[in-house]
Structure 1
Amino acid sequence: MPEPRTFRDEPVSFVRRSGRMSDGQERAFEELAPFYLLDVPRDVAFTSVHPDARLDVASAYGRTAQLIVEIGSGQGHAIVSAATARPDDDFLAVEVFRAGLARTMLDADTAGARNLRLVEANAPEVLSTYLPEAAASEVWIFFSDPWHKKRHVKRRLIRPGFPETAARALADGGMLRLATDWEDYALQMRDVLDAAPDFERAFEGEWAERFDGRVMTAFERKGIAKGREIRDLTYRRVPRA
């Protein structure tokens, strides 16, 4: 029998940081995680998803509605704001940093956002197997790590192969929304998505208009203050054959 794998086949787009959470964050996991945080069967790593695991979306939310997925939700500012403003839609935050997940749950609970769930897992595994095919009406990826050093570029989330993963999770006509403050990464994103047969541009000119559903966060303001231009991209999932 072959030895079981103890590592992933592909590099991940994050470095999982450890660190002590505050008492409030610890309480969030104890008190709020049973409602907000999905229990994901694991594979070879703590943030992995077992390839046989599948999310029952209707059961998780208690209804059938449009599902919007944010990859790398960070502190949850964008998705909590959206979930609060759009109660008829359902939202899924995908994040690997526990402090960010805790903050998201705390803010969601304060805002009364009951249409939000969180998953602590590697995003490509969520999109490629855990979500049912065509389950998402939109996928958001705002300010994913640009991995700007040349030797680390292979770790970028938006790279060749990713469009097929995102396309599987998106319904026909679904939207993939991207934003970054790193020019080189923006150019790579555009090149990769332009070459993807499962997607077509949903914008004219060089870049998309700023997505008005994305709240202005401290991270975005910091990038602007440093003189970095924010670039948006929006792609539509073409109909399946």
Structure 2
Amino acid sequence: MDNTETHAGRPPQTDFNTVFDNDLDYPRLGNVTFRRGTLTDNQEAMFNENWPTIGKDLADEIIDVDTWFNRQGHRTIVEIGSGTGTSTAAMAPLEADTNIIAVELYKPGLAKLMGQVVRGGLDNIRMVRGDGVEVMVRMFEPESLDGIRVFFPDPWPKARHNKRRIIQSGTLNLFASRLKKGGVLHVATDHADYAEWIDELVDVEPTLDYKGWPWDECPQLTNRQVITKFEGKGLDKDHVITEYLWEKK
């Protein structure tokens, strides 16, 4: 059985080097597909009821954050690859004055996060279904975000797949372009080879000031508060969690 589904509203993959007129490296995703997942009847009903209000699909549509959250002038952070939303939902009450936009391809993950949002009355979380890099370039204006989070991205451990990793010189440039001055990029990985990969890129983007970890004066919440599912698996294997913080110059 085919375990992927095409998404009618998904635009073609961006030719980033042409759009941004550079020769930087961007994730090479090939034909991005939406993994099919099974939702329970209750999850499906909840998803269908709430998605029109708190969810959006990837599209060529700049998000009007103030209108979507129905409040004006609040800080906005985008979390790319939110998974099942464990850390997203745990952090949200601790940053109630911040708008959190969780971006994820996998519908069952979004449904699980939605369940936490609905049950917990978490009114500062919204969701976008789509590839995080495409969402960033198509749905957010330059210098519009206060923060971007990338927690435990797929490490693509095989050397021939390294080009698919989300942390690349071009992606860092894109993230920086979407951050306001003083905005924060926060990345965490539990994969040693990926950490070495990121170590080589910490100073590659001239508009990002690498702060290392920890950064006590960071203007946003950096303590993920709970151990995420993937982080827990990493700790079970005695993996080291490596975190990175940058500030937009």
- Using the size of structure 1 for normalisation, the TM-score is 0.84
Distance in 2 between residues matched to 1:28 and 1:132, nearest whole Å:
30
Tell me what 2:28 maps to. 11
Within the alignment, does 1:152 sit opposite 2:152 as a pair? no
Distance in 1 between residues matched to 2:229 and 2:83, nearest whole Å:
12
Distance in 2 between residues matched to 1:191 and 1:98, nearest whole Å:
33
Q: How does 1:157-176 map to 2 (within 5 A)?
A: 157-176=166-185
Within the alignment, does 1:62 sit opposite 2:70 as a pair? yes
Distance in 1 between residues matched to 2:41 and 2:240, nearest whole Å:
37
Which of 43, 47, 68 is 1:25 aligned to?
43
Distance in 1 between residues matched to 2:247 and 2:215, nearest whole Å:
15
Contact 2:168 2:201 in 1 (8 A): yes
Q: Which amino acid aligns with 1:132?
A: E
Distance in 1 between residues matched to 2:34 and 2:198, nearest whole Å:
23
Q: How does 1:101-140 map to 2 (within 5 A)?
A: 101-140=110-149
Tell me what 2:8 maps to. none
Distance in 1 between residues matched to 2:207 and 2:160, nearest whole Å:
29
Which of 228, 236, 242 is 1:217 aligned to?
228
Which stretch of the first structure deviates more once superposed, 113-122 or 186-195?
186-195
Distance in 2 between residues matched to 1:129 and 1:137, nearest whole Å:
17
Tell me what 1:73 maps to. 82
Distance in 1 between residues matched to 2:208 and 2:248, nearest whole Å:
5
Q: CA deviation at 1:7?
A: 5.0
Q: CA deviation at 1:40?
A: 4.2
Tell me what 1:200 maps to. 209
> Alpha-carbon deviations, 1:173-221, whole Å to 9, x = none?
1110010011111121232231110111113xxx547941352122211
Could you say if the C-alpha distance between residues 7 and 39 of structure 1 is closer, same or farther in structure 2, counting changes exceeding 3 Å?
closer
Q: CA deviation at 1:237?
A: 0.9
Tell me what 2:187 maps to. 178
Contact 1:138 1:175 in 2 (8 A): yes
Distance in 1 between residues matched to 2:42 and 2:206, nearest whole Å:
46
Which of 239, 244, 248 is 1:228 aligned to?
239
Aligned to 1:236, the other structure's residue is in SS state: strand
For structure 1, the 5+ residue unaligned runs are 1-5, 42-49
Could you say if the C-alpha distance between residues 215 and 136 of structure 1 is closer, same or farther in structure 2, counting changes exceeding 3 Å?
farther
Tell me what 1:45 maps to. none
Moved over 3 A (4+): 13-16, 207-211
> Alpha-carbon deviations, 1:46-86, whole Å to 9, x = none?
xxxx3xx2111111111120001100001111111222222
Contact 1:143 1:179 in 2 (8 A): yes
Distance in 2 between residues matched to 1:218 and 1:39, nearest whole Å:
25
Distance in 2 between residues matched to 1:99 and 1:209, nearest whole Å:
34
